[in-house]
Amino acid sequence: MKVVQKILRNLHVAQQPQLVSLLLILTIGLVLVACAGRLRSALPTGSPSTGPSADPASASQPGTGQVRMGSEEFGLSKQELVETIEQVEASIAQCMREAGFEYIAVDYNTVRRGMVADKSLPGYSEEQFAREFGFGIATLYTGKPPQLSEVDTPAKIGLGDQNARIFANLSSTDQIAYTRTLFGENPDATFAISLEAENFSLVGGCTQKAIEQVFSPEELSATYLNPHDAIRQQDPQMAAAFTQFADCMRANGFTYSREQEIEPDLKKRLYAITEGAPIEALSTEAQSALKQLQEEELAIAASLFECGEP
């Protein structure tokens, strides 16, 4: 108010009520704008006022430093997930086309069906599947391209019927080249499967190139943690639940502290044994190691149900 009084004295407007009111309004407005600016600068990066909701476009771009807080995978909103899948699939199709192969960009609904089919098979409840197949990683491993699977696995579903037919019509030599071009060294690491697991550490080929165009380096890291999971793990009230889970798993012979650690570990160990080769091409030693890993996977899944996911 001292500033206002000084202005009024200098302009000799004490006898001009309308001008006084106008100056008061302008001055108060300037003060509010300045306060708002100070408040924004005090907010941490990624808060609701500076995060994805303030600029959805920048939040969906890699390298912006924005923290996504949607309810879908990688903290995406439902709309962002749809757009992200469309972008990745279009890039995969372009990459394959440039390599001389046909690949039909898969729509959101198809990819989503592959994602929700993870750890399940028709006619099985989630618990029945876990008891018989664990996580479906080593236990369902064949080493064959997912397009040639005799059952509708999540990987096959997520690639779509059109791409399965395209692949089936290729010669065996072209199938090998197609698989390497699309997936790199690990044909089980399809886009739908990796997106559902929130783990892109095993993707390769055109799938990896497409993902790198849409996701940030942090999200591509094997240590990535969904923002919602990170908040839960930092919640003091959840600390006891996570400690209890880790103690229970340790009592069963496993050193996992979080449920999210299990699948990446199993996939890494599976590839170390098989290197992506078909089962019939594995050495006797490798086949024995695979069987042991399958048995361990079943035991881990049973322990997970016993210990309860925090």
Same domain, 190 and 248: no
Sign of the dihedral through C-alpha 192, 198, 204, 208: positive
Q: Is residue 200 part of a domain?
A: yes
The number of domains in the chain is: 2
Q: Is residue 5 part of a domain?
A: no
Same domain, 150 and 203: yes
pLDDT at 24 over 80: no
Same domain, 165 and 84: yes
Same domain, 239 and 215: no
Out of 220, 246, 263, a domain closes at 220
Out of 220, 236, 256, a domain closes at 220
Nearest to 299 by CA among 265, 256, 254, 260: 254
Residue type, 298: L
pLDDT tens-digit profile of 136-180? 899 989 888 999 988 888 899 999 999 999 999 999 999 999 999
What's residue 46's pLDDT? 36
pLDDT at 232 over 70: yes
pLDDT at 262 over 90: yes
Q: Is residue 48 part of a domain?
A: no
Q: Is residue 101 part of a domain?
A: yes
Residue type, 147: Q
pLDDT tens-digit profile of 121-133? 767 788 888 889 9
Same domain, 159 and 292: no
pLDDT at 61 over 50: no
C-alpha atoms less than 13 angstroms from C-alpha of 194 in its C-beta half-sphere: 26
Same domain, 216 and 80: yes
Candidate from 20-34, 112-126, 178-192, 206-220 with smallest mean pLDDT:
20-34
Q: Is residue 168 part of a domain?
A: yes
Same domain, 126 and 245: no
pLDDT at 274 over 90: yes
What is the DSSP secondary-structure string of 70-106?
A: -SSGGG--HHHHHHHHHHHHHHHHHHHHHTT---PPP
Q: Using 50, 70 and 90 to split pLDDT, how confident is the model at 286?
A: very high
Residue type, 297: E
Same domain, 215 and 235: no
Specify whether the CB–CB gap between 147 and 156 falls below 8 A: yes
pLDDT at 210 over 70: yes
What's residue 68's pLDDT? 66
- CA-to-CA separations, 184 to 71, 93, 267, 309, in angstroms, rounded: 30, 15, 15, 33
Same domain, 152 and 250: no
Same domain, 249 and 135: no
Rounded CA separation 310/299 (Å): 18
Q: Is residue 119 part of a domain?
A: yes
What does the chain come to in residues? 310
Burial class (CB in 10 A: 0-12, 13-18, 19+), 142: middle
* Residue listed under structure tokens 């594995």: 282
Rounded CA separation 251/255 (Å): 9
Q: Using 50, 70 and 90 to split pLDDT, how confident is the model at 67?
A: low
Is 0.75 surpassed by the pTM of this model? no
pLDDT at 190 over 60: yes
Q: What is the mean pLDDT of residues 248-254?
A: 97
CA 155 to chain centre: 16
Out of 170, 204, 220, a domain closes at 220
What's residue 43's pLDDT? 34
Q: What is the mean pLDDT of residues 47-65?
A: 38
Same domain, 80 and 99: yes
What's residue 153's pLDDT? 85
Same domain, 216 and 296: no
Domain range for 108 is: 73-220
